[in-house]
Amino acid sequence: MRNLFSGLLLGLLLLVLFTGPVLAIGNPDYVSIGDTYVFRNVSEAGDQLFFCRYDVSYNSVPDEDPDDTWQMALYNSTGSLIATRSLNYYQHNIISIYLDADDALVWEGAHQIKIMGMPSVFGNLTEGINMRTNTLGPDDYYEKDYLAGIMITQAGILEADWEITLLTASDKLNSTGKTFFLLAVPGLGDMVPEIFEIVTHQQDVDYVSYNDTYAAGLSSHAGDKLTGAVTDIGGIMGVSFGWTSFWFAMLALLLMGGIVFAGHGNPVWAMLGGLGMVAVFAFLFGGGIFTLLIVVAFALALGFGISYILGKFV
């Protein structure tokens, strides 16, 4: 009895593990293929994109997901199955299959595109009932140059049928159109980016107002005579008052640093003496030159500190 019970339990577990859900979906009211196209060289030389607009029409949309029940299937001209891809939606919609250059089929061959129920769900597939086949002809094959225009045309067809807006006034895919077409044709944005609406957003900038009363007030310390002299010298050389003050400050830094170094032979004291002159000129001329002098002084001090400290380890 114990062995019988164990065997029944094991059988039940195996049944649960290896038996998938039973889908009770019925045949659609009709299934049709609107347009089929094949494009090549869309992402790499020699690749192919098989595009299909279909209609798997149900009066009452099934509870089962379409990607569990319906698919696009691609067969070559000899009837061999090449690739399948589950549908994203029932009703009127679009789907595609992409083949890279290594898997590409004979160009302009009589290959077949099928919109069909999955054999595991429907079992008996019948043309016109739960399957529709379109055999490709030479007129279905296009170079990549036609891809953008045909995608916009297909969007216009869907837009009219769905009664929603997929295109902008300038015939670009809007955000809604972008969602549907990128789902149907992954990578379409890289193939033909020009068909997508470009949305730009201007960044709001919060400008900070600084109080420069102190810096501006420093310029009065120089007095009219010194200010006039610096202005005249700058005028001779065609340089503004601020830049003339700056170069005078740099010259004073070098002179004072040279004097201190000559007297003490210590580069640290020489640098400190020179930076002191920068502070003096900042106090006298202030304004924009004040900020510039502080930045330069900091850069010089930092550069000297690094070179001096590293020099100790050489």
The CATH number given to whatever domain includes residue 113 is 2.60.40.10
Residue 140 lies in a domain: yes
pLDDT for residue 59 is more than 90: yes
Q: Name the pLDDT band for 15 (thresholds 50, 70, 90).
A: very low
pTM of the model: 0.61
275 and 164 in a common domain: no
Q: How confident is the model at residue 4 (pLDDT cuts 50, 70, 90)?
A: very low
Tell me: do 176 and 260 sit in the same domain. no
The residue with tokens 């837009």 is 159
Please state, rounded to an integer, the average pLDDT across all residues of the chain: 81
The domain of 256 spans: 215-311
Q: What is the pLDDT of residue 23?
A: 57
Higher-confidence position of 121 and 20:
121
Number of domains the chain is built from: 2
Residue 121 located in a structural domain: yes
- The more confident residue out of 271 and 21 is 271
Higher pLDDT, 292 or 90: 90
Q: Are residues 76 and 144 in the same domain?
A: yes
Per-residue confidence (pLDDT) for residue 277, from 0 to 100: 67
pLDDT score for 203: 67
What pLDDT does residue 84 have?
98
Q: Over range 290-304, report the average pLDDT.
A: 62
The residue among 159 and 203 whose pLDDT is bigger is: 159
Query: For position 236, what pLDDT does the model report?
Result: 77
Residue 279: inside a domain: yes
Q: Are residues 101 and 242 in the same domain?
A: no
Indicate whether 190 and 230 sit together in one domain: no
What is the C-alpha to C-alpha distance for residues 18 and 20, in angstroms, rounded to an integer? 6
- For residue 164, pLDDT over 90 is answered with yes
Tell me which long-range contacts 185-192 makes (C-beta under 8 A, separation of at least 24): 185/49, 185/51, 185/94, 185/96, 185/98, 185/151, 186/98, 187/43, 187/98, 188/151, 190/43, 191/42, 191/43, 191/49, 191/144, 191/147, 192/144, 192/147, 192/148, 192/151
Buried b (16+ CB within 10 A) or exposed e, 177-198: bbebbeebbeebeebbeebbee
**Is there a domain that residue 7 lies in?**
no
